[in-house]
Amino acid sequence: MNYQTKKDVWVAILLFGITGFIVTYSFIQSDLFFMIIGIILVIAVVWFWFTVRYRVDEGQVVIKFGPFTKKVDILDIEQIRLVRSLKLSPALSVTRLEITYGFDHRVVRISPADKSLFIKQLMSINPDIEFE
C-alpha cells in the first residue's frame, strides 16, 4: 500500500525560503559558484518535495525521497513514536513518526499523511511493535 507524505506549510517555507534566499543572493552578487549551488539546490528541493512517499510492500517499509530509497524490514521495527521535529529526514511535516529498528536501534523519521492507517498496517504485520 502507498502512503503520501503530509506536507506542512512551515516546512515548505523553510525549504523554499532558504533556497530562494541562496538563489537571490547568488544573482545579486553575480557569483557563479553560488548560482550553480542555488540551481542545484532548487532542483533537489523540488525533486524531494514532489517525490517523498512511503510504501508497505512484502514485509518492508520502502521510503522513497528524491533519488534515494531506504528499506526497513517491518519485523525489525521495535518502536514507533509520534514526535515533532525539524531534523533532516524523508519527511515534509513537523509531526512525524519516529521508527526505531534493527539490533543497533537505528532511527528514521517519516510523515505519512494517514499515520493511523500506516501504524495499523505495520502492527498487523508485526504486533510486537511498541507504540508511544
Given a cut of 90, whether residue 105 has pLDDT beyond it is yes
Given a cut of 90, whether residue 87 has pLDDT beyond it is no
Going by their DSSP bridges, the two strands 95-101 and 68-73 should be labelled as unpaired
Strand extents, DSSP E, the chain: 2-4, 53-57, 60-65, 68-73, 77-84, 95-101, 106-110, 130-131
Task: Please report which confidence band the pLDDT of residue 28 belongs to, taking 50, 70 and 90 as the band edges.
Answer: confident
* Pair 111, 65: CB distance under 8 Å: no
pTM of the model: 0.84
Q: Could you read off the pLDDT of 40-76 as tens digits, one per residue?
A: 989 999 999 999 999 999 999 999 999 999 999 999 9
With vertex at residue 89, the alpha carbon angle to CA 84 and CA 95, rounded to the nearest 5 degrees, is 20
pLDDT score for 22: 84
